[in-house]
Amino acid sequence: MAIQSLEDLFVHTLQDVYFAESHIVKKLPDVIDKAHNPELKSLLAAHLDESKVHINRLEKVFEALGQKPAGTQCPAIEGITKEADELMAEIKDKTTLDAALIAAAQAVEHYEITRYGTLISWARELEHNSVLELLRETLAEEKAADSKLMRLGEDKLNQKAA
Amino acid sequence: MAIQSLEDLFVHTLQDVYFAESHIVKKLPDVIDKAHNPELKSLLAAHLDESKVHINRLEKVFEALGQKPAGTQCPAIEGITKEADELMAEIKDKTTLDAALIAAAQAVEHYEITRYGTLISWARELEHNSVLELLRETLAEEKAADSKLMRLGEDKLNQKAA
């Protein structure tokens, strides 16, 4: 698809995030399996469920715009998860691996936070008012997931240090 | 380097961000050149200067830890800038390209925000108190750059819509 207008760019970015969310849904089960801390495991499992809801919401956004849901390759999310894969292969120590997984998951959240933020700003400009709430709900959940991961990382670390 | 402890992971992540900041310093001049809006150009130019300061601060952090400054390949930042390169090659319309560049720059900021946030949390845990302030200064600047880009995106769009 040639990108000739903000409308085209909006649809392209929807496809980028659709690919990213689907990629995360494929990757997360392995990460949950490799995590040691039970709270981290359950946090990631909850986020896997949430990500499936996000995919669903994106499908509703495509539909509202008269578009077929489709993904476009997203080198950014592939790069972020490639780093996580490398660390998972390399780190043997449990606590260190959990710390690396929390950081990797936060990097994913931040990618999604910036993309949904951009989509909301463009949806407002393009007056796609019917999709604003769907995008905002997901953005709020991504931000909450990032905060929970950060707190878990700090609590775990503080506990260990105490 | 084998990663066997949180200390190793901390140094590895410093190297990751050092690579990312250096990558951005190499990439930004072309982005500044391609941007049309003068405010966007000057915002990106200011961030190029800031990124050089961030590299300097990271070198001080390495030094404080008795480490030689070094980068380690960072597929995440490469993926994020690859997406930007693809969009720069494809989009001809000026306003649309500027919107894409703002979004790409915000994705870079968010990657850096999450990594510096993680580094600060680990530096606290590892009691590397002498480097905390250096990392916090950079994190504050990354967040400020993201906010300025967001506001510029919204002002520009609102202006156009008005």
Q: What is the 3-state secondary structure (H, E, C) of chain A?
A: CCCCCHHHHHHHHHHHHHHHHHHHHHHHHHHHHHCCCHHHHHHHHHHHHHHHHHHHHHHHHHHHCCCCCCCCCCHHHHHHHHHHHHHHHHCCCHHHHHHHHHHHHHHHHHHHHHHHHHHHHHHHHCCCHHHHHHHHHHHHHHHHHHHHHHHHHHHHHHHHHC
| Distance from C-alpha of A97 to C-alpha of A108, rounded to nearest angstrom | 17
Q: Kindly determine whether residue B110 and residue A111, on different chains, have CB atoms separated by under 8 Å.
A: yes
Residue A34, phi then psi, degrees to nearest 5: -80, -20
* pLDDT of the residue at A160: 58
**Which stretches of chain A drop beneath a pLDDT of 70?**
1, 157-162
| Distance from C-alpha of B38 to C-alpha of B16, rounded to nearest angstrom | 32
Q: How far is A55 from chain B (nearest CA, A)?
A: 20
Provide the number of CB pairs (under 8 Å) joining chain A to chain B. Answer: 142
Of B87, B93, B160, Cβ closest to residue A4: B93
Q: How far is A49 from chain B (nearest CA, A)?
A: 23
* pLDDT of the residue at A68: 95
Q: Count of CB atoms within 10 A of residue A156's CB?
A: 18
Residue B77 CA, distance from chain mean position: 9
| Residue B162 touches partner A, C-beta closer than 8 Å | no
| Distance from C-alpha of A109 to C-alpha of A111, rounded to nearest angstrom | 5
Of B5, B124, B150, Cβ closest to residue A93: B5
Question: How confident is the model over B19-29, as pLDDT tens digits?
Answer: 999 999 999 99
Of B3, B74, B106, Cβ closest to residue A114: B106
Residues of B in contact with A76 (CB under 8 A): 76, 79-80, 82-83, 107
Tens place of pLDDT for every residue, chain B, 162 residues?
689 999 999 999 999 999 999 999 999 999 999 999 999 999 999 999 999 999 999 999 999 999 999 999 999 999 999 999 999 999 999 999 999 999 999 999 999 999 999 999 999 999 999 999 999 999 999 999 999 999 999 887 656 544
* Cβ atoms of residues A141 and A54 within 8 Å: yes
Q: Kindly determine whether residue A96 and residue B5, on different chains, have CB atoms separated by under 8 Å.
A: yes
Helix, coil or strand: residue B100: helix
| Distance from C-alpha of A59 to C-alpha of B10, rounded to nearest angstrom | 39
Q: What is the DSSP letter of B159?
A: H
Smallest CA–CA distance from B75 into chain A, residue: A79
* pLDDT of the residue at B158: 59
Q: Mutation test of the interface with chain B: which of A1, A5, A83, A116, choosing the one with the most B Cβ atoms within 10 A?
A: A83
| Distance from C-alpha of A56 to C-alpha of A75, rounded to nearest angstrom | 22
Residues of B in contact with A102 (CB under 8 A): 118
Question: How confident is the model over A5-29, as pLDDT tens digits?
Answer: 999 999 999 999 999 999 999 999 9
* pLDDT of the residue at A161: 47
